[in-house]
C-alpha cells in the first residue's frame, strides 16, 4: 500500500511522526480562484498545483519525510476581476497567509517548505515573500511553478499554443485529466473566438495590465480545443517528475544565510571582511 502523502488525510499523530523523522518537508500547493473563460472552472490553477504536488510527493515518499498541505485557493488575481468569478488577496494579505503557514510549520517541527504554484499572478509575490520568510524563520523555502520547468519538453507537448498561457491547451488538458466532468468542452470554440487585444510592456519594463487588456475578451489566451486528457496526463507526469527532482535537490535545501543577524555585515560566508 502506497504511503499517504496528503496532510488533510492524515491524523495529528501521523503528522507528528513525520516531523520527528527530521528534515521534514511540507509542500504547499498554491493557486487561485479566478475566471478561466467560459470552459474551465475557476479552481483550475489550484487543482493543477495540487495534482502536481501530490504526484511528485508520491514519487519520493518512501525516502523523504513529507506531507502535502491542502491547496491554497486564494492568490493574487486582481487582474482577472473584470471577467467575474474571481476572489483575490492583495500582497499584504498574501504574505500574511504564507507567513502564518511557515510559522505554524516551524512550531510543528517541519524544517522545510516547498510551494508548488499553479497561477502566473503568484510568481512575483511568491519570489518576494519566500526571500523574506526564509530568513525570518531560518527555514529553506522554495517556490516553483511546474509549467515553467523542463521548458523544452513542456513546449513539445503543445500542439497549437507555444507554451502555457491562460485557460489554454495545457490547462484544458490537465483539467480534462483530473476533473473532466466540470470542463465544458462545448465552449472551447467560443473561448477561442477572439484571439486579440494582447498588450505587453516592452522588454525591460513592467507595469500592471488587467487580463482584459492583455488577452481576448473571453478571458482565454490560447487554444483549449487542442486539449486532451491524454495530453493532460503527460503534462502532469512531467510536472511531477520535475518537482520530485527539486524535492531531492541538495543545493535547494541549505540553511538560509542569516543576513539580518547583528554584525552580519562584518563578514561574508568566506570569513571576516578585512
CA distances from 116 to 45, 142, 185 (A): 11, 9, 27
Q: Which domain holds residue 114?
A: 7-256
Report how far residue 121's alpha carbon sits from residue 74's, in angstroms, rounded to the nearest whole number.
Answer: 11
* Residue 195: per-residue pLDDT: 63
* Residue 207: per-residue pLDDT: 92
- On the question of pLDDT at 96 being above 60, the answer is yes
Tell me the pTM. 0.95
Percentage of the chain exceeding pLDDT 70: 97
Q: Is 267 within the bounds of a domain? A: no
Q: Is 265 within the bounds of a domain? A: no
Strands 267-268 and 66-68: unpaired
Residue found by looking up cell 488538458 in the block: 173
User: Which range (161-175, 184-198, 206-220, 225-239) has the least confidence?
Assistant: 184-198
- Going by pLDDT thresholds of 50, 70 and 90, the confidence category of residue 51 is very high
Strands 271-272 and 267-268: antiparallel
- Going by pLDDT thresholds of 50, 70 and 90, the confidence category of residue 196 is low
Which are the contacts of 87, defined by CB distance < 8 A and separation ≥ 6?
33, 34, 74, 77
Report how far residue 136's alpha carbon sits from residue 17's, in angstroms, rounded to the nearest whole number.
Answer: 25
Asked whether the beta carbons of 139 and 103 are under 8 A apart, the reply is no
Give pairs for 183-186: CB < 8 Å, separation 24+: 183/39, 183/40, 183/41, 184/38, 184/39, 184/40, 185/39
DSSP code of residue 199: -
For the segment 176-201, the average pLDDT, to the nearest whole number, is 88
* Residue 2: per-residue pLDDT: 80
E strands present in 89-175: 112-117, 141-144
Q: Which residues pair with 185 in a beta bridge?
A: none
Asked whether the beta carbons of 165 and 188 are under 8 A apart, the reply is no
Q: Is 269 within the bounds of a domain? A: no
Q: Burial of 212 by CB count in 10 Å (0-12 exposed, 13-18 middle, 19+ buried)?
A: middle
- Is the model more confident about 87 or about 195? 87
* Residue 193: per-residue pLDDT: 81
* Residue 194: per-residue pLDDT: 72
**Could you read off the pLDDT of 205-252 as tens digits, one per residue?**
999 999 998 877 889 999 999 999 999 999 999 999 999 999 999 999
Report how far residue 191's alpha carbon sits from residue 217's, in angstroms, rounded to the nearest whole number.
Answer: 9
Q: Is 191 within the bounds of a domain? A: yes
Q: Is 248 within the bounds of a domain? A: yes
For the segment 135-152, the average pLDDT, to the nearest whole number, is 97
Q: Is 274 within the bounds of a domain? A: no
Report how far residue 213's alpha carbon sits from residue 196's, in angstroms, rounded to the nearest whole number.
Answer: 10
Average pLDDT value for the chain: 95
**Could you read off the pLDDT of 53-83 as tens digits, one per residue?**
999 999 999 999 999 999 999 999 999 999 9
**Could you read off the pLDDT of 104-134 as tens digits, one per residue?**
999 999 999 999 999 999 999 999 999 999 9
- Going by pLDDT thresholds of 50, 70 and 90, the confidence category of residue 274 is low
The three-class DSSP label of residue 45 is: helix
Q: Is 24 within the bounds of a domain? A: yes
Count of structural domains within the chain:
1
Task: At 124, list the grid cell.
Answer: 512575483
Q: Is 272 within the bounds of a domain? A: no
Task: At 193, list the grid cell.
Answer: 473566438
- Going by pLDDT thresholds of 50, 70 and 90, the confidence category of residue 21 is very high
* Residue 29: per-residue pLDDT: 99
Q: What is the CATH number of the domain that holds 234?
A: 3.40.50.10310
Amino acid at each position: 500500500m502506497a504511503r499517504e502523502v496528503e496532510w488533510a488525510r492524515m491524523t495529528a499523530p501521523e503528522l507528528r511522526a513525520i516531523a520527528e523523522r527530521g528534515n521534514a518537508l511540507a509542500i504547499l500547493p498554491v493557486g487561485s480562484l479566478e475566471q478561466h473563460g467560459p470552459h474551465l472552472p475557476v479552481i483550475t490553477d489550484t487543482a493543477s498545483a495540487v495534482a502536481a504536488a501530490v504526484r511528485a510527493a508520491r514519487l519520493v515518499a518512501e525516502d523523504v519525510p513529507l506531507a502535502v498541505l491542502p491547496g491554497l485557493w486564494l492568490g493574487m488575481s486582481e487582474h482577472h476581476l473584470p471577467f467575474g468569478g474571481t476572489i483575490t488577496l492583495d500582497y499584504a494579505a498574501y504574505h500574511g497567509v504564507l507567513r502564518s503557514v511557515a510559522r505554524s510549520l516551524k512550531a510543528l517541527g517541519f524544517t522545510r517548505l516547498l510551494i508548488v504554484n499553479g497561477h502566473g499572478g503568484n510568481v512575483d509575490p511568491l519570489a518576494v515573500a519566500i526571500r523574506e520568510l526564509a530568513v525570518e524563520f531560518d527555514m529553506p523555502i522554495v517556490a516553483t511553478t511546474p509549467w515553467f520547468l523542463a521548458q523544452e519538453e513542456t513546449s513539445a507537448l503543445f500542439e497549437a499554443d507555444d507554451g502555457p498561457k491562460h485557460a489554454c491547451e495545457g490547462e484544458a488538458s490537465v483539467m480534462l485529466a483530473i476533473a473532466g466532468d466540470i470542463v465544458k468542452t462545448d465552449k472551447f470554440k467560443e473561448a477561442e473566438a477572439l484571439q486579440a487585444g494582447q498588450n505587453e510592456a516592452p522588454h525591460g519594463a513592467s507595469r500592471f495590465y488587467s487580463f482584459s487588456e492583455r488577452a481576448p475578451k473571453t478571458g482565454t489566451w490560447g487554444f483549449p480545443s487542442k486539449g486532451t486528457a491524454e495530453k493532460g496526463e503527460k503534462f502532469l507526469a512531467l510536472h511531477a517528475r520535475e518537482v520530485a527532482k527539486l524535492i531531492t535537490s541538495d543545493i535547494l535545501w541549505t540553511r538560509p544565510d542569516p543576513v539580518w543577524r547583528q554584525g552580519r555585515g562584518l563578514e561574508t560566508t568566506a570569513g571576516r571582511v578585512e
